Amino acid sequence: MLPFKSLILIDKSSTTPVFLQLSDQLGQLIRKGMLTPGQRLPGSRQLGELLTLNRQTIVAAYDEGMAQGWLESRSGSGTYVAAHVPEVKPQPLVLEGRDGISQGYAISNKQPGYAFESINFLNRPVLTNQAGLRLDDGFPDIRLAPMDELSRAYRSYFRWGNPQKHFGYGDTKGNRLLREQLSIHLNETRGLRTTPDNLLITRGSIMGLHLTCQVLLRLGDVVVTGETNWAGATMNIQKAGALVLTVPIDQHGMDMDALEILCQKQRSVARPIRMVFVNPHHHYPTTVTLRADRRVRLLQLSEQYGFVVLEDDYDYDFHYLSRPILPLASADQHGMVVYVGSLTKSVAPAFRIGYVVAPTAVIDELARLRRIIDRQGDPMLEFAIGQLLKTGDLKRHFRKALRTYHARRDHFCELVSTELSDIIQFNKPDGGMAVWALFDPSIDMELMAQRADQEGLSLSNGIAHNPPGQRLNGTRLGFASSTEDELEQSVAVLKKVLKIRS
């Protein structure tokens, strides 16, 4: 007889009924080959005494096992492992190592028993909101998020309307209220000319970029980005099978002369450019704004050479001059621009609301693809954000956050200029939530980030921003998520770390 008392462990504090725990564990013993086809199990009274369980619990567990097909009852004889269960050779409890010494054996849960391709370019650190001091990638301060207003909007979702409509399946394109209100907001603030049917609501801008690349790109297509670029966009372009070519980024954004030369070259070899990816408002990671004449020329080149402009406008709501420059999409007369944005940085990263703006034919196709990935978004969150746009609460939050981040930008830039000007070069950004900082070439960025972490300050070493074969020695220093006092402490730590020479 198997040592059932050792092999079966019952947790009476668990919410799972005891008879189901027992039935499941008997099934596991059968699947592992420790109980074999046709093997007789102990009687209910005997097993109950072994496990200190009520006999009726054992009977219920056996009944469940029979219902699942693992066990069978033989009249007048007892309960057996079903004869039709295939025989499994049990794994040995110990294996003999190469040196002849017995080693403990455990089935690995790390590697599968089948082959699959691991894509190296998808290896990218996951950025999270760190506790303590931080100069992050440019995250919002979640302490400013309009939580009370969101709570009221959530409660109204439960109180109003038809529950069947609220809690059933919704539109794959997103909640209608949010699309209506967001369309109005984008038209008023960005000069777009949209209807709700021109919008697809996504779980953050990264989902919008993924869907767009999958729909518009094919294996072997050519896509142009800046030499420095957001890794999330580059990876999605590569995952769609496209070839990525780059052009320089200077103090005025993407070099349009270089882009035109590349367009001519690719046309001559019969591999025309299919798409150009840009952040014209604030280029990532350098934060520079694409100059007005270059914006016009980019749209002209798009019409001339027939490529899609994929415009990522990740932080449009936070611009510190009198009026931000309107998106490329606002001047698009020929339907060449796909505009991707997000409310994530405007509210809080946990609220995954992004959007794609494009001609309705493209939106319809994006929605069809989205349906096989994610049937729909979060109806409650989308309704709540739609309500905040409708009531004006979200716009008031934008204004409040803008004032706060503006003050923090000014304070942080003054601190860096005063305390670290001999080590860090930067231009005060016109908007956004981070400063692009170039460090003295003598600074080891990896070592600096490690030492800062030891001192309680989290920041990126910037290596991910280096183009192939280049060492920029720069990184993004986010200021928006920290108070002015926290920024002062962060700069003090950074100053201390940078004065240490390796």
Q: Are 356 and 312 in contact (CB under 8 A)?
A: no
Q: Is residue 343 domain-shared with residue 438, that is, in the same domain?
A: no
Same domain, yes or no, for 77 and 17?
A: yes
Asked whether residue 101 is assigned to any structural domain, the reply reads: no
CATH number of the domain to which 491 belongs = 3.90.1150.10
**Is 128 inside any structural domain?**
no
Q: What is the pLDDT of residue 89?
A: 62
Cβ atoms 353, 382 nearer than 8 A: yes
Q: Is 11 exposed, middle or buried (0-12, 13-18, 19+ CB in 10 A)?
A: exposed
User: Of the candidates 199, 165, 166, which has an alpha carbon nearest to the alpha carbon of residue 182?
Assistant: 199
The model's pTM is: 0.75
Q: How far apart are CA 356 and CA 340, in angstroms?
A: 5
310 and 275 Cβ atoms separated by less than 8 Å: yes
Structure letter (DSSP) for residue 142: G
Query: Would you state the pLDDT for residue 104?
Result: 47
Residues 391 and 406 in one domain: no
pLDDT along the chain (502 residues), means of 10: 81 90 90 88 90 92 90 89 74 52 54 76 67 87 85 76 65 90 92 94 92 96 94 92 95 95 94 96 92 94 96 86 83 94 80 91 95 82 88 90 94 94 92 93 93 92 89 94 94 87 43
Residue numbers of the domain that contains 462: 133-139+398-498
Contact by Cβ (8 Å): 181, 390? yes
Please tell me whether residues 288 and 410 are part of one structural domain: no
pLDDT attached to residue 249:
94
Burial class of residue 178, CB neighbours in 10 A (0-12, 13-18, 19+): buried
Q: Do 246 and 467 form a contact (C-beta atoms < 8 A)?
A: yes
317 within some domain: yes
Q: Is there a domain that residue 271 lies in?
A: yes
Task: Count CA atoms closer than 13 A to 498's CA, side-chain side.
Answer: 21
Q: Which residues face 197 on adjacent strands?
A: none
Q: Is residue 88 part of a domain?
A: no
pLDDT digits (tens, 9 = 90+) for 159-196: 766 666 666 677 889 889 999 999 999 999 889 999 99
> Which residues are 341's β-sheet partners?
355
Q: What is the pLDDT of residue 2?
A: 72
Beta bridge pairs of residue 15: none
Q: What is the pLDDT of residue 501?
A: 47
Q: Are residues 183 and 165 in the same domain?
A: yes
**Same domain for 477 and 429:** yes
Q: Which of 41, 65, 81 is the last residue of a domain?
A: 81
The domain that holds 23 is classified in CATH as 1.10.10.10
Domain count, the chain: 3
Asked whether residue 196 falls in the same domain as residue 278, the answer is: yes
- Domain co-membership, 379 together with 422: no
Give the domain CATH number at 233: 3.40.640.10
pLDDT digits (tens, 9 = 90+) for 279-298: 999 899 999 999 999 999 99
SS (H, E, C) 356-387: EECCHHHHHHHHHHHHCCCCCCCHHHHHHHHH
3-state secondary structure of 424: strand
pLDDT for res 379: 80
How deeply is 260 buried, as exposed, middle or buried, from its count of CB atoms within 10 A (0-12, 13-18, 19+)? middle
Q: Which two tokens stand for residue 476?
A: 């993004």
The answer to whether position 126 is within a domain reads no
Residues 314, 341 contacting (CB under 8 angstroms): yes
Same domain (yes/no): 357, 410: no
